[in-house]
Structure 1
């Protein structure tokens, strides 16, 4: 697979990022974005002003995207936060792992000391397994913190990796 990653341009790539994240946002099963928030709500969640976004494509076909941003301002800004979303066409092709590797490389390049995922839905086992294989540790479990549309209240995890 000849996957390419390019940084998204705010404004010019809004519709493409929304195309990628829309099914996941609207499912309500993985992100804390309002499933009924439309493009404005989805982009506000996935691409706030503090974030940079990259798009993964193969032969012009969008397969996923990820964001990278400081996890907190000020004295917490040495730790970054990232989020990922793949399309159905990306499943089983290693796209998520490639985006994870790229985000870790970019985080190191930007001088971050660690990466933290603040709210990983515990039912998202495929993503959790990828992150654990990459060295992320679960540092906390938030009981019943996420309202899953099918499973009811499920736990959310806080995951962390020093860079």
Structure 2
């Protein structure tokens, strides 16, 4: 089930969030970020944040927000995280499909991912299967925790003509 995230949901999801940012492999978030800073970033600042829950366990989450303000606010941005134990089970795909439906409901015309780490091949391939195109490469934009400097991609998908 996918539903809006509560603060208690984020508390349950925090170990996953903390593990992801500390790995420094996919998100350009401060690996020393506190729970409150993370909650603000993931749940308060975006328009909406959702969880994927199964058997009373939070297995994944995403947020949706405008990618820019004013004349650019018709394009949205999302971020996704899935717990390590739940990876490879189609949850990210379901979250992304849900986010596209939400984006259209909220009036967005397109979705853009600003910094998909190029070494995150599973995510890059999934986003491409779901219709996203790499529209730009930022050379050496991400300091990967294991690989050093790697490229980041800007990925985009029109949701409406």
Normalising by the smaller structure, the TM-score range is: over 0.9
TM-score, length-normalised on structure 2? 0.93
Compared CA separation, residues 44 and 30, structure 1 to 2 (3 A): farther
Q: Which runs of 5+ in 2 are unaligned?
A: none
> Could you tell me how far 1:120 is from its partner in structure 2?
0.6
1:95-143 residue CA offsets vs partner (Å, 9 max, x unmatched): 1100010001110111100000001110111011010001100000000
**Cα gap change, 1:159 to 1:146, in 2 (>3 Å):** same
Q: Paired residue for 2:90, among 90, 94, 99?
A: 94
Question: How many Å separate the matches in 2 of 1:139 and 1:48?
Answer: 29
Divergent runs of 4+, >4 A: none
Residues 5 and 43 of structure 2 are in contact (CA less than 8 Å); yes or no, is this contact kept in structure 1?
no
CA deviation map 1:38-93 (0-9, x unaligned):
21333344335233110101111111000000101111100000010000121221
Instruction: Extract unaligned runs of 5+ from structure 1.
Output: none
Give the alignment's TM-score, normalised by structure 1.
0.91
Aligned length in residues: 159
Counterpart CA distance in 2 for 1:58 and 1:132 is: 26
| 1:8 paired to 2:5 | yes
Task: Identify the residue that residue 158 of structure 1 maps to in structure 2.
Answer: 154
| In structure 2, C-alpha distance between the alignment counterparts of 1:50 and 1:63, rounded to whole Å | 20
